[in-house]
Amino acid sequence: MRPRHADDEPISRTDLLDVFVAAERPDPSTHLVGTELEKFGVRVPADGGPLLPIDYGDIANVLAALCERHGWEIGPDHGIDGEVVELRRDGASITLEPGGQLELSGKPLQTIHQTCGEFTQHYRELHDVSLPLSLSWFAAGFHPFATRDELNWMPKGRYRVMREFLPTRGARGLDMMLRTCTVQANFDFASEQQCGSRMRVANAIAPVVAAMFANSPHVEGRDTGLRTARSTVWTDVDNDRCGTPDFVFDGQPFSYERYVDWAIDVPMFFVKRDDRYHPHHVPFSQFMREGFTDAQGRHHTATWADWITHMSTVFPEVRLKPFIEFRSADAVSSKYVCALPALLKGILYSDDACEELWQRLGGLDAGARAQLWFEARHAGLSSALLQPHAQRMLQLAREGLERADVRDDRGRTEARFLDRLEPLVRGGQSPADLVLEEVGGHAGRTPEGQRALVRAHYFAGVEP
């Protein structure tokens, strides 16, 4: 293992690989799973009036109550004027997305039983502090009724830079920032070879998983004809930093260096120095060669902290950090949220499942992969093209979890977390289809329509 770098240590081209080498866990029994969930919030007036998107004041009240009543502590990150924007507790964190979406980044845990327990605790705590504040939280891939202008920006310096830069890269960058939510799962690896295998399989199955968790059929109160509007938004954000890097399916061996080669060619958002975000939009490779001179004439060279930050500002469907981050699923309600890490653990932590699914999907050409994504976004699990893949993936995941035989105190394996997914896959329905059955395609933006949409995606707090 290579030595750990200090944050302010200048780096060379070869140093960039160290973050991945240091993250290797040769013992498979130490491989953990981390899960992240974002959700939208609204204020619920007692008089039956329109639901109001939360602002930072609402968020500040929630964060303060979580600290006071549930043992969370203020994290080191802070807003433009010193606002609280992060909480931490026992390896987990709560942070803010640009439009006030609240994100729980769970502690990396050994079992899905523990993961689901963590999310149950989060639900209870958020529910507890939100009821007296008249706030409701709901999980959908795309905000089902708010316009972009109705949502409130959170006071974080990096978001100010992104807000200015992303519209120069694609038409939907601000929608991505303000109006999308996801559930993500993170996975370990033993070696460079295993990292490559798991990353490639994760990319190959990504459109099928996107269909299984598609949960954003409405935009501004209307049925879009899509099952995941969130995934569609990501196609027009910034082609340099989003989607699937070309090298994933080019047939050549994976290496950390190939991922680095891709990432350092992505334009930066900013250089952060002394808590200030200086816009700087050159490829990271150019920043390493030339450095950066700020408005005060101070010259800065690329450091380890800059590289760690840059890795968090590339947005492929599957992102490599000190872990493999799967990013293709819409945010879903609490009854489905534990199914994502369970599904992916059953597949990615099984060499046999990875091999079969790579043989099944890894050899598709670019046109066939694009068709899978089109079907996922427009039809979800009702697609005859996707259904057999989803059924086989669910079966392989269940077999993998049963074989791992990790049991809770009632003797149940982790495969039980797939039970809620089973009828959807068997019936060819995504969560979006259930939402449409419940509220219809034209819920609208009236107070009644807003409430119906929140109930369909409800997570915690006041139930309108």
Give residue-wise pLDDT tens across range 217-264.
Answer: 999 999 999 999 999 999 999 999 999 999 999 999 999 999 999 999
Percent of the chain with pLDDT over 70: 99
Supply the pLDDT for residue 359.
98
As a whole number, mean pLDDT of residues 60-88 equals: 98
Question: How many angstroms separate the CA atoms of 304 and 12, rounded?
Answer: 9
pLDDT digits (tens, 9 = 90+) for 130-181: 999 999 999 999 999 999 999 999 999 999 999 999 999 999 999 999 999 9
Distances 439 to 217, 326, 464 between C-alpha atoms, Å: 11, 30, 14
Rounded Cα gap, residues 15 and 284, in angstroms: 14
Does the pLDDT of residue 3 top 70, yes or no? no
Residue 187 near residue 319 (C-beta atoms within 8 A): no
Q: What is the pLDDT of residue 10?
A: 82
Report the pLDDT value the prediction gives residue 4, as an integer from 0 to 100. 59
Q: What is the C-alpha to C-alpha distance for residues 243 and 266, in angstroms, rounded to an integer?
A: 13
102-105 and 324-330 beta bridge pairing: unpaired
Report pLDDT for 12.
Answer: 87
Going from the C-alpha of 347 to that of each of 114, 291, 342, 396, 434, the distances in angstroms are 19, 42, 9, 7, 26
- What gap in Å lies between CA 187 and CA 32, rounded to an integer? 6
Q: Once rounded to an integer, what is the mean pLDDT over residues 373-400?
A: 99
Provide mean pLDDT across the span 451-462.
98
Q: How many CB atoms lie within 10 A of CB 359?
A: 10
- Rg for the chain (alpha carbons), in Å? 21
Map tokens 């260096």 to a residue.
257
Q: What is the DSSP letter of 228?
A: B
280-284, 343-347, 438-442 — which is least confidently predicted?
Answer: 438-442
**In 268-311, which ranges are E strands?**
270-273, 276-279, 292-293, 299-300
Q: Give the pLDDT mean for 346-365.
A: 98
Over 50: is that where the pLDDT of 464 sits? yes
Question: Which parts of 71-130 fold into alpha helices (H)?
Answer: 112-130
Give 37's strand partners.
104, 183
DSSP conformational letter for 343: H
> What pLDDT digit, counting tens, does each position of 102-117 carry?
999 999 999 999 999 9
Matching residue, tokens 């690989």: 17
Asked if residues 80 and 276 have their Cβ atoms less than 8 Å apart, the reply is no
Torsion region of 419: left, alpha or beta (phi above 0 gives left; psi -120 to 50 gives alpha): alpha
Average pLDDT over residues 414-432: 98
- Name the residue type at position 308: I
> Which amino acid, one-letter code, is at 456?
A
- Based on DSSP, count helices (H) and strands (E) in the chain, helices before strands: 18, 19
Q: Sketch out the chain's domains with CATH numbers.
A: 14-266+314-458 (3.30.590.20)
Indicate the pLDDT class of residue 1, thresholds 50, 70 and 90. very low
